[in-house]
Amino acid sequence: MARVIERINTPLARHSLDGLLEIKGAGEDDAGWLSNSADMLEQGTYEWSVIASFIRMANIYRITPPQQKRLIVSSCPAPSTNRLPLAMAAYSIIGDQLTHRGRSMALQRSDGEGNYSILGLRFHVVQLSEMCVNHMYRASYNPEDPPVRTVQSTLTFPHFSAMLVWHLINSCGKQAGEGVRETVVVSEDLNKRDERFRSLLTDRLEGYTAVDYHDSYRWGADDGLRRIIMLKGLKHGDTVNSFISVGNGHVAIYTTESTVEGATAIAARHPVAVEAARPILDQYNLTDTLMNAEYPAQQEPCFCEECLLRRIGIETVTSASGRRMFVMQMQ
């Protein structure tokens, strides 16, 4: 038994999960499932580290059990019976402990082969055989963390773990737990062909976690590429979640950091988020463009029909006869 416990504790420490997960026996066959837990924890490369980062974000958004320091793992499938990719299997043993506004975030199977859902978001796990030879995510295909495609919308992610972070931000971040509020620090529209914007969207970033994905619903000069650059929330000791959203010529910084009341400058109102964002903004010569924007910062983009059309380069005009026409703006 001591050897099995050591096999569990070693990967927990290596992936910084020792303060986030507790492997706890709950029956007579503790030795059996503890061995299964050890086998599972010893698999993969980065997948467990991603789960550690996800749990830290979940703690910030307050969707983990209150007054519970660690998530409890009391059952674990044997590798021989587990048919899920490792990243999904790892999430499956913690997802049922997460709740958002009373709804479970457990991984659930949906109708159709390879279809699943989390908190109402249905998605399809993309197999390598389903990808054409020039598919944008074929080269990075990882069977233990495969690409996924949302069913209700038009988004494709290179990995399940990328969708997991995106889903947490977009579902829980917009309506976070009690006492947590995600706000816009600054929001700016740039020319889609601006080299600074293009580089921030497509460069390989050193020292940052980038969540890339693709939206196939696009118009005009929009190539559908989207990126979330994590600034705060993934590391031990982080108490706020901050990130940069990039796509369709738009750059915005979001944070759960409380606003400093009475401050007028952007950097003074959200000092933690701005300090975290400044190095990468400096690197891409975007600091003056964003930090000198007039406060109050733009609110979250409006999603009325007129604003949505304008954001994809289409203006609406009304003719003398009262007919409504759509005009594509070339950039």
Tokens describing residue 61: 């958004």
Q: Nearest to residue 290, comparing CAs of 206, 213, 200, 222?
A: 200
Higher-pLDDT residue of 231 and 192 is 231
Predicted TM-score of the model (pTM)? 0.83
For 326, residues 6+ apart whose C-beta sits below 8 A from its C-beta are 309, 314, 315, 316
Round to whole Å and give the CA distance between 92 and 88: 6
DSSP state of 129: G
Through-space distance between the first and last CA atoms of the chain, rounded to whole angstroms: 66
Per-residue pLDDT band at 75 (split at 50, 70, 90): confident
Residue 183 clears pLDDT 70, i.e. is over it: yes
CB atoms within 10 A of CB 323: 8
Least confident of 88-92, 251-255, 319-323: 319-323
Least confident of 14-18, 176-180, 184-188: 176-180
Round to whole Å and give the CA distance between 319 and 283: 46
Q: Nearest to residue 113, comparing CAs of 130, 134, 138?
A: 130
Would you call the peptide bond into 79 cis, given omega within 30 degrees of 0 as the criterion? Answer: no
DSSP, collapsed to helix, strand or coil, labels residue 319 as: coil
Burial of 295: CB neighbours in 10 Å, binned 0-12, 13-18, 19+: middle
Residues in the chain: 331
pLDDT (average), residues 270-295: 89
Per-residue pLDDT band at 178 (split at 50, 70, 90): low
Higher-pLDDT residue of 4 and 124 is 124
Report the alpha-carbon angle 25-26-27, nearest 5.
110
Higher-pLDDT residue of 30 and 103 is 103
Mean pLDDT of all residues in the chain?
A: 85
